[in-house]
Chain A
């Protein structure tokens, strides 16, 4: 165990960085370029702390703890430096929080508020990139980019796609795809990992714009229905409608990562064509019920409820089994089902029906 002091308080820790240890002990250190799912890089200078004996301030996110270390996380010197960095960032940032999509869950906005930055003392050039709406799913508003590089690192470390890089250097440095094309013309696969880690409104979910602020929505944890991996995420729900999907960073199967379908393919939920009740073929209905059934918007189908539909299906399956034996039946399941659902289907086939005719489409 290493014994160190943070803000005069004696702390024992097994190891890690100053930031790790501080957070584990309930000591707040602000960050911007840091993200728990990404390797730290010490670039944004928001987590600067005083380490006794060091001439300049040190980034807590990369600085490893050592025996006898004496750290100040909230001294006037530290607060001045952090406020300075925020003032600088604000001098190159549009002040349109009122209309910004990220308002309410913007890490820059929160820190500007926390550090009481009313206005920036710096006047000068500001990056003026028009919002880039050429891509599907992702809206890039690069004038809101603070160059924390979380997006680049997510693309590289989580997704291993490497679609993004820094181009140029100094004030002209910006996040870009190779040759600064739109994302669609790069090797981007629109997984949206970049969007999920962006601390500001630079990268946002295009289709969610205007549909609900962070405080207007409720997060509902769910499992993605698209495939059997079992990715978890949060549906952001406003007034009973899903408006956005966001990463659940503690999800066991995917640890926050998603694919293009899981992250951006939620619009079907509220599509008017979506089936919301089981349908039965009119001929089948007639055979079982002896009536025409109520008229439905679906030609050749009758709308029904689950009990009716399942009873009908079970009845017909049992009849086939009795007449021609269990191997007259086969079950083909879907890769869209979860593992658990697929397990249950094979149990239905093998145990209840008594056949090994069970297969899976094995692709999406």
Chain B
């Protein structure tokens, strides 16, 4: 492959794109950018046919790779550092710095005697945060941008072999990568002596097998090596001793998809977006009780209010915003007072949450914060690898307490024990999963302490979630006797004449909530039960 050939393919493919029209997937799940969005990572998603490398080339694909092969690896690292690109997988470690460490480690060690690759570049596509799917969107919609980013990163750090580790739950992403790889090899954009510059790099796909903890880099490396994905203490860091003991850099899909653009448009362009310490854009998967759920990409530093209300269209069904859960199971729940905080790595950590991979779940007044904490703990508990006791036993104890509280069996002592557990699990756990597992509990306890106390003291769940801890009452002042609730009630326990105030026969009500949903006039309220029912079977 030469630059002339690449230019020729670009010209031809542009023609095809022009003839076909703007979008390849007019009905895809990715909507056209909304005002306020800036698409860097998602730039080609939905625009090009991900199964045709030519269309990626039409969008300047692989030109950045050609460009950097005329630079030294050190220059590539410096340029990446200057752009301020930080890891999009959660922790926000500077990408250029990561490559620099790996390169440094590589220089201090002899090459393997058996001709094995001296260093590895791993693309972490084990996107496990429930509620986040940006990596899937990029791998499915623009796989070549990730492969090009990998090649650039590999050149910078000195790797000759790369792996893309993709979740088994993403069969389409795997299929598109499996199509993309031979195409890139055929054009000489992967393989030996790329662009005739003496740079060798190839990529293999590894499919995850359903373990959230494999998103942790040392566990991911163990998994590629064919073992149980159990995190190891660092040091040694993968940059020094990673895959098969060689210097390894593990970078997230979104991080790598940013890389070609940084070299096409320049580090200054990238650094011109975002905040002082968090540059560029970030994709967010907005979900939950928001009108326009979906994937967006916005400059770092945008506020949660802008995301949820301006881009997301506000809360569903005219309900009240209660909290936004960011960062997945290891992130936290942020209440309304953080709506105007600019979102970047530091501010989210300061608020007790995480950027994570960019999941953003909007919760409304009908979401119980204790139950949300319990939900995440159930997840983390199930995904704990079982290696260190603070995690495998600590999260179990946390889950047991949260379950007790949501079943009206909680005590004041339980709240103290929760705090004791969260403090120590976060300092004593081996990896980020254990350390971060407490964040949903810590943030909900910090910002919604009253809900925990109501659950424990009054056995009352004001959100109407925890079974046996509330009932519905029709407000005599508001009810206009429309009868909607009476008609909807499956057990016919609501009585009332037309245009007269209705009433629920509490003794026979099964608290299914159909009346609450049916009422258009907010005349049905969630109220404490006179005698809380305890020891009900767990819901679901």
Where the two chains meet, the residues of A that have a C-beta atom closer than 8 Å to any C-beta of B are 41-45, 48, 56-59, 62-64, 77, 80-81, 84-85, 88-89, 91-92, 121-125, 146-147, 166, 168-173
Contact = CB atoms under 8 A, between A and B. Distances in A.
Given A41-B232, A56-B429, 7 more contacts: A57-B427, A64-B235, A121-B420, A166-B228, A168-B386, A169-B384, A170-B383
B379 to A, nearest CB: 11
Contact of B427 (A62, A77, A121): A77
B392 A173 contact: yes
A168 B210 CA distance: 12
Interface in B301-322: none
Interface string B32-55: 000000000000000000000000
Given A81-B427, A147-B386, A171 B420 contact: no
B256 interface: no
B456 to A, nearest CB: 15
Contacts of B394: 88
A44 B396 contact: no
A70 B2 CA distance: 55
A363 B390 CA distance: 50
B277 interface: no
A45 B393 contact: no
Interface string B197-231: 00000000000000101000000000000001000
B396 A173 contact: no
Contact of A56 (B232, B383, B435): B435
Contacts of A42: 232-233, 430
Interface string B425-443: 0111110000100000000
Chain A CB within 10 A, most for which of B383, B394, B435: B394
Nearest to A92: B393
Interface of B: 211, 213, 228, 232-233, 235, 381-390, 392-397, 400, 417, 420-421, 424, 426-430, 435
A334 B381 CA distance: 57
A171 B384 contact: yes
A64 B233 CA distance: 11
B385 A45 contact: no
Contacts of B397: 88, 91, 122, 124
Given A42-B233, A43-B388, A45-B390, A124 B400 contact: yes
A-B pairs, top 9 by smallest CB distance, nearest first, are A173-B386, A42-B233, A170-B384, A84-B424, A124-B400, A88-B393, A81-B428, A171-B396, A62-B233
A85 B393 CA distance: 9
Contacts of A43: 387-388, 430
A271 to B, nearest CB: 44
Nearest to A147: B386
B427 A89 contact: no
A173 B393 CA distance: 11
A121 B424 CA distance: 13
28 contacts: A42-B232, A44-B388, A45-B428, A45-B430, A56-B435, A57-B427, A57-B428, A59-B430, A63-B233, A64-B235, A84-B390, A84-B420, A85-B389, A88-B389, A88-B397, A89-B393, A124-B400, A147-B386, A166-B228, A168-B386, A169-B211, A169-B384, A171-B384, A171-B386, A171-B393, A171-B396, A172-B386, A173-B392
A121 B418 CA distance: 11
B389 A147 contact: yes
Nearest to B384: A170
B397 to A, nearest CB: 5
B388 A88 contact: no
Contact of A171 (B213, B235, B381, B430): B381
A54 B167 CA distance: 32
B386 A166 contact: yes
A124 B397 CA distance: 6
Nearest to A170: B384
A354 B124 CA distance: 75
Nearest to A46: B389
B216 to A, nearest CB: 13
Contacts of B385: 169-170, 173
Contacts of A172: 386
A184 to B, nearest CB: 25
Given A41-B232, A121-B420, A170 B388 contact: no
Given A44-B389, A170-B381, A171-B384, A56 B427 contact: yes
A121 B428 contact: no
A57 B228 CA distance: 25
A46 to B, nearest CB: 9
Contacts of B420: 84, 121
Contacts of A58: 233
